[in-house]
Amino acid sequence: MRYRCLILDHDDTVVNSTATIHYPAFLEALKLLRPGVTISLDDYFRENFDPGFIPYCVGKLGMTDEELEREVECWKAYVSRHTAQAYDGIRGIIERQKAEGGIVCVVSHSYDFNIRRDYEANHLPMPDMIFGWEYPPEQRKPSTYALEVISRKFGLKSEEMVMVDDAKPGYDMAKAYGVTFAGAGWAMDIPEIRDFMRKNSDVYFTKVEELAVYLNG
């Protein structure tokens, strides 16, 4: 066990959810909120990567707070009918971390209820702590709030933790707190995103099995 605490993002890190859940849900919301407006899957990945989903909705689509609430309701309705699949190899990583006495936490822009449902549906060991979208905006990634709480609760030094994430908010959070950042590159192959992650991650992997080897080293 290379790190005492394994901190995982959820979407496109543990489960294949943007392409199969969040993107089609967003297209349904656009039909109601911005008829005639659409976005490709690759561009949806790009907007979520930087500047992020809310800045995209507000800054580029001009959504109001009320419209954002309606978008969330559309998303919740879609999620209630669909479950994301975990990537092959993820369960083994979490099981080994737990079996060796390690800690597993999730810091995500998904809601706690959705994360727990995905873990149950995919037979993954439940995380020790979850920090999801239900937290106030100032405590969500890229805020270091979650890392501060995890560190205090489990008595961890920054070098005992690793953050595994596919997107920039996770990188920004890890960098700000001095935690090793492992880039998860198995959900997409978009050149500018991959280039950023390769350049800035402490370690970067395009396959789950590569992460497993690294964590067990």
What pLDDT is recorded for position 52? Answer: 83
Q: How far apart are CA 23 and CA 202, in angstroms?
A: 29
* Encoded amino acid at 86, one letter: A
Q: What is the pLDDT of residue 27?
A: 97
Whole-number pLDDT of residue 83: 92
Q: Tell me the pTM.
A: 0.92
Give the per-residue pLDDT at 115.
Answer: 96
Q: Given this model, what pLDDT does residue 51 score?
A: 80
The distance between the two most distant Cα atoms of the chain, rounded to a whole number of Å, is 52
What is the full DSSP assignment across the chain? Answer: ---SEEEE--BTTTEE-IIIIIHHHHHHHHHHHSTT----HHHHHHHHHTT-HHHIIIIIT---HHHHHHHHHHHHHHHTT--PEEPTTHHHHHHHHHHTT-EEEEE-SS-HHHHHHHHHHTTPPPPSEEE-TTS-GGGSTTSSHHHHHHHHHHT--GGGEEEEESSHHHHHHHHHHT-EEEEE-SS---HHHHHHHHHH-SEEESSHHHHHHHHH-
Chain mean pLDDT for the chain: 96
Structure tokens at 12: 């496109």
Q: What is the pLDDT of residues 165-181, one digit of tens each?
A: 999 999 999 999 999 99
State residue 49's pLDDT score.
83
pLDDT digit string, tens, across residues 110-160? 999 999 999 999 999 999 999 999 999 999 999 999 999 999 999 999 999
Asked whether the predicted pLDDT for residue 217 surpasses 80, the reply is no
Does residue 101 have a pLDDT over 80? yes
